[in-house]
Amino acid sequence: MDKSRVKLKVDNISQSYVVGDEVLDAILNVSFDVYDNEFLVILGPGNCGKTVLLNVIGGLEKPTGGKLYLDGEEIVGSDKRISMVFQELALMPWKTVMENVEFGLQIEGVDKKTRREIAQKYIDLVQLTGFEKSYPSQLSGGMKQRVGIARAYTSNPEILLMDEPFGQLDAQTRYSMQEEIQKIWQQEKRTILFVTNNIEEAIYLGDRIILMSKSPGKIKEIYDIDLPRPRNSMDPEFLAIRKEVSENTDLAL
């Protein structure tokens, strides 16, 4: 992580919805910087607006207030340099693994041969070699999530937004996916914004952790995690941070 280079600036973002005849604030005045190549974790209880925040950064929703700057320039709407891994498994059931992974390149109009080559590289990276022709319904939950990760990498983004990508996995698969995503990040240096509601996962993965309060989501605290990688969740320092974050976390409703 290069703290001197701000990759993404989130400036005073708010998002609210009109529900019935009331205004519901989902997130309120959220500001932070994301550094180049950083693994930044956004940690918060359920319903605190984590998905809303990522959707705004990914350009899927227009915020009611605030601005976003990528490399110092304001961005509006979805931007090719930002890619997303969705909380719900968002694979096209009618497409094979290969077709799902190359989807972004297909949209960009890259010719078939080139996009197959690029997609293959990331399929290999997430260790799905041999499953190119399988359909999502034939894959396990962890494998499906890897397809989503490969797809996000394939369009060669500078920033990856990951919305609780391991939330639906069993504990064992979750641990191995955490290890794997860390390896991928170390190999393919990109900036990652990783959302989770799991404190251990946050401390295991994050260069920094942004802790959000419960709804309406605001930034409560930002932690620098200076532990060497790979981290050990039994390490006393790890446990100390975990205790500190845990005591500061709001309970979900």
Partner 1 sequence: MSVSDPNHLNESEYVESVRRERKRSQYQSAILSVIGILGFLILWQLSLVTGLVNSRFLSSPIEVVSLFITKLTDPRPDGAVIGANIVSSLIVALSGFGLAIVIGIPLGLLMGWYKGIDSFLRPIFEIIRPIPPVSWIPLTIVWVGIGLQAKAMIVFFAAFVPCLINSYTGIRQTREVLINVAKTFGASDFTTFLKVGIPYSMTMTFAGVKVAIGNAWATLVAAEMLAASSGLGYMILMGRQFGRVDLVILGIAVIGLIGTLITIIINAVENKILGWRKL
Ligand X SMILES: Nc1ncnc2c1ncn2[C@@H]1O[C@H](COP(=O)(O)OP(=O)(O)OP(=O)(O)O)[C@@H](O)[C@H]1O
Amino acid at 7: K
Q: Return the number of the residue (44 or 104) whose C-beta is nearest ligand X.
A: 44
Return the one option of ligand X, Mg ion, partner 1, none that residue 60 interacts with (CB less than 5 to 8 A, by type): partner 1
Cis peptide before 228 (omega within 30 of 0): no
Residue nearest to ligand X (CB): 51
Helix, strand, or coil here: 227? coil
Angle, to 10 degrees, between the axis of helix 141-154 and the axis of helix 112-125? Answer: 130
Site string (61-100) toward ligand X, x via CB under 6 A = --------------------------x-------------
User: Which of 18-26, 106-114, 200-208, 218-226 is the region at the interface with ligand X (rule: CB under 6 A)?
Assistant: 18-26
Q: Do 15 and 63 contact (CB within 8 A), yes or no? A: yes
Pair of tokens at residue 233: 């969740």
Q: Do 44 and 252 contact (CB within 8 A), yes or no? A: no
Amino acid at 124: D
Q: Return the number of the residue (109 or 228) whose C-beta is nearest partner 1.
A: 109
Q: Return the number of the residue (26 or 85) whose C-beta is nearest ligand X.
A: 26
Determine which residue in the list 10, 52, 98, 199 makes contact with ligand X, applying CB under 6 A.
52
Residues 69-108 that bind partner 1 (CB under 8 A): 78-80, 82-84, 86, 88, 90, 92-95, 103-104, 106-108
Tell me: does residue 23 bind ligand X (CB under 6 A).
Answer: no
Residues in the chain: 253
Distance CA 79, CA 162 (A): 16
Residues that bind ligand X (CB under 6 A): 17, 19, 24, 26, 44, 46-52, 87, 197, 215
